[in-house]
Structure 1
Amino acid sequence: MPTIEANGIKLAYDVQGDPQGEAVLLIAGLGLQLISWPDAFCKGLVDQGFRVVRFDNRDSGLSTKMDQFGKPNLQMAFFKSLFHMPLFSGYTLYDMARDGVCLLDALGIDRAHVVGASMGGMIGQIMAGRYPERVLTLTSIMTTSGRPGLPGPTMAASQALFSQPANPRDINSVIDHFVRLFRVIGSPGYPTPEAELRRRVAQSVRRNVCPRGTARQIVAVASSGDQGALLRTIKVPTLVIHGTDDPLVPVVCGRDIARLVSGAVLHEVPGMGHDFPPALDGELSGLIAAHCKGMQAQQARRASAG
């Protein structure tokens, strides 16, 4: 897996598709790696002529681990966040958005279609708001504005997210733990077959597991706060995709983003939870390709008119 220097750290990445095609930058969610973007989903975008770029966020996968910031106290961070107290996070989602921009720089990509899921969606929103000259379109999947008052996870999803493997030192125990987690937050209308879910989880666990890095990412999310004002400044064409059965980030959060971003298109997927089930690979890649190609059509019309 290649790595590249970006924003003062090393980011692991891969690139698929036509080098001359417009770039689609995929930003993964909390604690997830570039392989969390399913191969079939990526192939759907490649088959539409796009150059697909996946990467590991800082503190995930094979990218730089920010161990200089230690292991955060998540209970204290939650308490401070709840009462709007100052919170030291080492880095924020704004730094992670800068990672994405610097990755584009390092790869020689001027502008990209930005697609982010969950925490990655929040990072993508920051890219679109802070660096609009680098973003062709934005697709925000199963994410939130972070505004106070929005509903949070179900009790079952919260418990699953913050649970621990029975034996963190045993790889099979860790795999079992993540299989249980994804069963809880996954799509009830499109359950991933057991063998496929276990294969995906085992691949991810064997590639890299970094609980401290995930904890630091959690604090980065908490310290980045309300993005409502930023979302109101976004001008790039925006697609919001959200499952109606998401127990981790309820669909109301997606509706809130679509309301805040001028001209945003909301697509709700019945039966979808907080995952990428194989049964939806084609639908989701098709939605995103059509969104991106709509921007291409607008550019072509402007060129012909000029």
Structure 2
Amino acid sequence: MGDRPEVAIEYPDRVRSLTSMMSRTGEPGVGEADLSMFAVLGGPPQNREAFIEWQVRALALAASPGFEFDVVAAAERAGRVFDRGYDTLGMQRQGLAVVATGDRTERLRALRVPTLVVHGASDTVCDVSGGRATAAAVPDARLVLLEGVGHNLPQELWPELVTHIAALVHRVEGGRPAD
């Protein structure tokens, strides 16, 4: 699960709400990635310019088919990632961590925290079945499926996302302004 609900599962007294985005429960066969499209990329390069080009190609493959892909913004973001101290094994460690966490379905069923689940209906990195399973597992979770959205958050949808998240926070806070 990309957003890691483990804090909510392990320390429920520390969490007032949960927003799960483009995620999965860890149940085998649910929310699986279509990795075949990424096979054409090869491994990530070591030098900055090649990495930026490689990352832009990878992000374009995972992008939202219903929205224009911003190549310039993706390249700028990729440059920042590289400059921050890019580690070529980082993606592999993240993937292994997801697998090692295992199936969290039963633990998600025990959550008693207001939950919003947001998922792209066209996500190929984490199939939409992952979002549906997450929402089904967490009692009273609200599922928002975004049509035409892949494994990214198009800027055009930011106001809608903010509205959904703000409504959850408003409900949790009982109408009080957020701290």
Judge same fold: TM > 0.5, yes or no. Answer: yes
Determine if contact 1:190/1:271 at 8 Å carries over to the other structure: yes
Determine if contact 1:156/1:184 at 8 Å carries over to the other structure: no
State the one-letter code of the partner of 1:222.
V
SS of residue paired to 2:169: helix
TM-score normalised by length of structure 1: 0.54
The superposition leaves residues 258-305 of structure 1 with CA deviations (integer Å, 9 ceiling, x where unpaired) of 11111000000001110122222222122111211111126x6xxxxx
1:164 equivalent in alignment to 2:48: no
CA distance in 2, matches of 1:200, 1:151: 26
State the one-letter code of the partner of 1:164.
G
Stretches of 4+ aligned residues off by more than 3 angstroms = 155-158
The superposition leaves residues 229-260 of structure 1 with CA deviations (integer Å, 9 ceiling, x where unpaired) of 11010000000000100011111110111111
1:240 equivalent in alignment to 2:117: yes
Determine if contact 2:31/2:131 at 8 Å carries over to the other structure: no
Q: Which residue of 1 aligns with 2:18?
A: 138
CA distance in 1, matches of 2:86, 2:31: 29
Aligned residues: 176
**Structure 1 unaligned blocks of 5 or more:** 1-117, 301-306
Bigger CA drift: 204-213 or 125-134? 204-213
Q: What aligned pairs does 1:59-208 form with structure 2 within 5 A after superposition?
A: 119=2, 121=3, 123=4, 125-159=5-39, 163-165=42-44, 168-208=45-85
Determine if contact 2:38/2:61 at 8 Å carries over to the other structure: no
Q: Which residue of 1 aligns with 2:93?
A: 216
**Structure 2 unaligned blocks of 5 or more:** none
Residues 277 and 208 (structure 1), Cα distance of their counterparts in 2 relative to 1, 3 Å cut: farther
1:263 equivalent in alignment to 2:140: yes
CA distance in 2, matches of 1:158, 1:181: 7
Determine if contact 1:126/1:230 at 8 Å carries over to the other structure: no
Residues 223 and 155 (structure 1), Cα distance of their counterparts in 2 relative to 1, 3 Å cut: closer
Bigger Rg, which one:
1
Higher relative contact order (CA 8 A, sep 6+): 2
CA distance in 2, matches of 1:130, 1:158: 34
TM-score normalised by length of structure 2: 0.90
The superposition leaves residues 75-117 of structure 1 with CA deviations (integer Å, 9 ceiling, x where unpaired) of xxxxxxxxxxxxxxxxxxxxxxxxxxxxxxxxxxxxxxxxxxx
Q: What aligned pairs does 1:289-304 form with structure 2 within 5 A after superposition?
A: 289-297=166-174
- Superposition RMSD on alpha carbons, in Å? 1.8
Identity of aligned residues (%): 32
CA distance in 2, matches of 1:137, 1:157: 35
State the one-letter code of the partner of 2:90.
G
CA distance in 2, matches of 1:204, 1:149: 31
